[in-house]
């Protein structure tokens, strides 16, 4: 069943507005096909026959059961291990050595749109690689808080079990042997990597007060879906939960320029990232 033919221009505008308010995600013009490809199965499962009916159901929806399913289906969860390499090189070559020199402290990193877990687990792997290369062990108690708006992505992330094809996206065979153990045809993230990571549902549009403060934030490949106003708001609120001198890592096509004055750009041999201004 295709519902695309049934989406009137008015319903498309209403759906766009619902999605933007609920998740920050902006659907451009002419993206009716995305609604069709991503929501057809959900609408069928819920016995809903058109976008118009869905919009009515969303208005009655308490406590947001349908809203969460729609957001889940509409988000892009694309991710991979050591994605773009440079942020993880920067952790190993620049950030971890600097923190290590500062002495013993409980450092905290936030992976703010963690999808199915590859980003926070990669940060943990980068830490293990760094610890193996140094005699200073001040960072041994570092922790990683991983959050996402998508409940189903968080279930996958917490399970920490991936198939061969998923592992093939960004992991060398050495890292696979080092950081995973085989389990009935699938691969489990090793306990020492998993132990540092905790997960929590968090909409980037909501308050960050309950999360505490961080020494670095990874907010990668999610701001691109938001309006300029939302990007500014999110970046400025992230600045307010970063400890002095804290770091910010964005996706390869994302920038703070034009959205927030709270950060200075760092260009190191590992790549470009940001530091909270004094
Ligand atoms: C393309 S993935 C990026 C994953 C990872 N950061 C990376 O770079 O590989 C985008 C993630 O952002 C999440 N997301 C979208 N809107 C969000 C919001 N308002 N709050 C929190 N997470 C959101 C999606 O559920 C998805 O898992």
**Residue positions counted in the chain:** 278
Predicted TM-score (pTM) above 0.85 = yes
Q: Mutation test of ligand 1: which of 25, 26, 75 has the most ligand atoms closer than 8 Å to its C-beta?
A: 75
Tell me the Ramachandran region of residue 170: left when phi exceeds 0, alpha when psi lies from -120 to 50, beta otherwise: left
Q: How far apart are CA 271 and CA 249, in angstroms?
A: 10
Q: How far apart are CA 124 and CA 127, in angstroms?
A: 5
Band of the pLDDT at 63, cuts 50, 70, 90? confident
For residue range 108-141, list pLDDT tens digits in order: 999 999 999 999 999 999 999 999 999 988 888 9
Minimum CA distance residue for ligand 1 atom 2:
77
99: tokens are: 């923190």
| Residue 248 near residue 219 (C-beta atoms within 8 A) | yes
Q: How far apart are CA 170 and CA 128, in angstroms?
A: 17
Separation of 275 CA from ligand 1 center, angstroms?
22
| Residue 148 near residue 154 (C-beta atoms within 8 A) | yes
Q: How far apart are CA 110 and CA 212, in angstroms?
A: 10
Q: How far apart are CA 39 and CA 238, in angstroms?
A: 32
Q: How far apart are CA 85 and CA 88, in angstroms?
A: 6
Rg for the chain, CA atoms, rounded: 20
Question: Please, is 149 exposed, middle or buried when counting C-beta atoms within 10 Å of its C-beta (0-12, 13-18, 19+)?
Answer: buried
Give the number of other Cβ atoms within 10 Å of residue 245's Cβ: 13
Residue 251 in contact with ligand 1 by CB distance below 6 A:
yes
Tell me the average pLDDT of the chain.
95
Minimum CA distance residue for ligand 1 atom 9:
79
| Residue 263 near residue 239 (C-beta atoms within 8 A) | yes
pLDDT at 1 over 60: no
> What confidence score (pLDDT) does residue 4 get?
58
Question: In 197-208, which positions are buried (b, 16+ CB within 10 angstroms) versus exposed (e)?
Answer: bebeebebbeeb
Residue 75 in contact with ligand 1 by CB distance below 6 A:
yes
For residue range 189-207, list pLDDT tens digits in order: 999 999 999 999 999 999 9
> What confidence score (pLDDT) does residue 197 get?
98
Minimum CA distance residue for ligand 1 atom 3:
221
Residue 220 in contact with ligand 1 by CB distance below 6 A:
yes
DSSP, collapsed to helix, strand or coil, labels residue 236 as helix
Separation of 78 CA from ligand 1 center, angstroms?
8
Distances (CA, A) of 238 to 98, 196, 249: 21, 21, 11
Residue 260 in contact with ligand 1 by CB distance below 6 A:
no
């Amino acid at each position: 069943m295709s519902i695309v033919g049934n989406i009137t221009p008015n319903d498309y505008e209403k759906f766009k507005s619902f999605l933007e308010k609920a998740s920050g995600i902006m659907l451009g013009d002419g993206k009716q096909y995305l609604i069709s490809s991503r929501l057809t199965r959900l609408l069928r499962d819920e016995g809903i026959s058109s976008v118009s009916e869905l919009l009515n159901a969303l208005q009655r929806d308490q406590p947001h059961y349908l809203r969460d399913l729609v957001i889940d289906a509409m988000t892009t969860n694309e991710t991979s291990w050591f994605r773009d390499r440079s942020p993880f090189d920067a952790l190993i070559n620049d950030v971890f050595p600097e923190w290590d020199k500062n002495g013993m402290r409980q450092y905290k990193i936030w992976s703010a749109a963690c999808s199915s877990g590859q980003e926070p687990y990669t940060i943990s792997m980068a830490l293990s690689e760094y610890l193996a290369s140094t005699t200073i062990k001040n960072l041994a108690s570092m922790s990683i808080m991983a959050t996402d708006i998508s409940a189903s992505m968080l279930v996958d992330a917490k399970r920490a079990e991936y198939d061969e094809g998923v592992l093939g996206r960004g992991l060398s065979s050495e890292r696979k042997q080092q950081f995973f153990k085989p389990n009935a045809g699938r691969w489990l993230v090793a306990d020492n990597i998993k132990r540092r990571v905790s997960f929590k549902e968090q909409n980037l549009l909501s308050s960050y007060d309950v999360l505490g403060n961080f020494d670095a934030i990874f907010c990668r490949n999610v701001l691109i879906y938001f309006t300029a106003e939302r990007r500014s708001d999110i970046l400025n609120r992230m600045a307010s939960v970063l400890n002095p001198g804290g770091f910010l890592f964005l996706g390869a096509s994302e920038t703070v320029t034009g959205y927030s004055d709270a950060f200075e750009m760092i260009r190191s041999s590992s790549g470009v990232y940001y530091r909270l201004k004094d």
